[in-house]
Amino acid sequence: MLKRYIERFSWVDFLLKLFQVLALAAIVIGIFNTLSVARYSSDQWVTLIFAGLAQGSIYALIALGYTLVYGILLMINFAHGDVYMAGAFTSVFLADSFALSGFLASHPVLAILILLLVAVTVSMVLNVIVERVAYRPLRGAPRLVPLITAIGASFTIEYTFRGLYGAEFHAYPTVPALSGIINIAGYEIPRVQIVVLVAAVVLMLGLYFFVERTKIGKAMRAVSEDKEVARLMGINVDKVIMITFAVGGALAGAAGVFNGLFRPQGVFFFMGFIPGIKAFTAAVLGGIGNVPGAMVGGLFLGVFEAVGPNLILEGLGIPAVNQLRDAFAFTLLVIILIFRPQGIFGERLAEKKA
């Protein structure tokens, strides 16, 4: 009996379990320490959570692009973060001139809609071009090959926009109509966060209905189930893939404008890199290929990233936790991929292991 056990013993499993236990212990101890000394008031937590939700809704919009593409092509579109950058970076110049001319103050809704339209168009077109040039000719190649072109596409986009628009940061102007504070159940939340959150959720719902209800959405799902069969059913697979990239790009473009509206840091050519990885994390979190999963995953990641460092790391006695926010989110990615690669809600494509 003992021999049978020893023969089946795996160091990998053992060490991964150990790591799991240690990680859990660190989280529990951290939370306990932080809460027991009441370092932050409930006001502060709520502020953090709402900031996290707004940020998370942006991750979710980007994550949808990853998830849609992965669902259909089983590949990570590494360039997606840069598609997001392209939209945000392009419309910042327009936003500047709107602010200068006073249009942004006099017609905020119209102005923001135009900004969205520009960003969405740029990102959408760019994503379609990337698919056409870098991925379509390689359909059916070994998996490593499109992965490498995707990395290449990512850097090509980044440095193309650096060449076009320069290497400086450009901050979005503040929109008077969006500044200020809304009082919700006694908590004061910046208005812009609420607006971004609501707008993002509306877009996500729109996408959900698009995928579930429309004819194109159904074709997308058919292609993601089985490309060959879909082709036999008379679906133009190339066109569906193109539309998928277009939709993913459009959402990323919108995310770019939202991001510009509520984060004062400004946009620049490399801004897509880190949100790209994080949005991918969100997509994996929700189960890659799973559309509602990506939405929830994004929101969860946003909150987790906003609250986690203060809640967990500070309790462990680590100084200057704000510096570690990104590392914290990436660690979550690693942990999820180790222990639950199918995500929280399960991957729609779990059986499609290739």
Least distance from another protein to the Cβ atom of residue 321, Å: 8
Q: Which of left, alpha, beta for 10 (phi over 0: left; psi -120 to 50: alpha)?
A: beta
Residue nearer to another protein on the CB measure, 47 or 158: 158
Torsion of CA 56, 175, 198, 62, to 10 degrees: -40
Residue 78: other Cβ atoms inside 10 A: 24
Residue nearer to another protein on the CB measure, 40 or 270: 270
SS3 30: helix
The structure tokens 């719902």 sit at 205
Least distance from another protein to the Cβ atom of residue 136, Å: 10
Residue nearer to another protein on the CB measure, 132 or 191: 132
Residue nearer to another protein on the CB measure, 132 or 221: 132
Least distance from another protein to the Cβ atom of residue 100, Å: 5
Residue 199 has, within 13 A of its CA and on its CB side, a CA count of 23
Residue nearer to another protein on the CB measure, 190 or 276: 276
Element spanning 229, H or E: helix 227-232
Residue 176: other Cβ atoms inside 10 A: 12
**In sequence order, what are the beta bridge partners of 187?**
184
The structure tokens 């959402």 sit at 251
Of 289, 279, 274, whose CA–CA distance to 341 is shortest?
Answer: 289
**In sequence order, what are the beta bridge partners of 190?**
181
Least distance from another protein to the Cβ atom of residue 146, Å: 8
Least distance from another protein to the Cβ atom of residue 335, Å: 9
Residue nearer to another protein on the CB measure, 19 or 209: 19
Residue 238: other Cβ atoms inside 10 A: 14
The structure tokens 């400004």 sit at 266
Residue nearer to another protein on the CB measure, 7 or 41: 7
Least distance from another protein to the Cβ atom of residue 76, Å: 5
Helices 42-73, 291-308: axis angle to 10 degrees equals 150
CA distances from 76 to 14, 169, 175, 330 (A): 30, 28, 35, 16
Least distance from another protein to the Cβ atom of residue 190, Å: 27
Residue nearer to another protein on the CB measure, 78 or 172: 78
312 close to 30: Cβ distance less than 8 angstroms: yes
SS3 182: strand
Least distance from another protein to the Cβ atom of residue 131, Å: 12
